């Protein structure tokens, strides 16, 4: 895989802040980039209806079960009741 210019910036920001947000157009490689930067993190997609329902019904329990090192994928068009996450 080609090393992207953003890798160093993302890793630097992740070392400085507890949360880093990566936004961009659909299918430009955001998830692939994050998976390569944070291979040891748990990857969670809220696009999966079952996972999304759990997160909506019990956001605190959902975050507790995620642990402290995870990447969350959320479709901004379908945020629903996920404001607390």
pLDDT value, residue 81: 57
pLDDT value, residue 8: 92
Query: pLDDT by residue (tens digit) across 17-49?
Result: 988 888 888 888 888 999 999 999 998 888 888
pLDDT value, residue 83: 61
∠ CA(31), CA(28), CA(66), 5° rounding? 15
Q: Give this prediction's pTM.
A: 0.69
**Residue 67: pLDDT band by 50, 70, 90 thresholds?**
confident
CA dist., res. 1 & res. 49, Å (int): 30
């Amino acid at each position: 895989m080609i090393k992207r210019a953003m890798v160093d910036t993302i890793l630097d920001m992740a070392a400085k802040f507890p949360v880093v947000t990566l936004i961009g157009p659909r299918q430009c490689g955001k998830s692939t980039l994050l998976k390569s930067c944070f291979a040891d993190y748990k990857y969670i997609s809220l696009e999966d209806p079952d996972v999304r329902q759990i997160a909506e019904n019990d956001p605190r329990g959902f975050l507790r079960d995620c642990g402290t090192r995870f990447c969350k994928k959320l479709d901004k068009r379908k945020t629903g009741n996920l404001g607390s996450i």
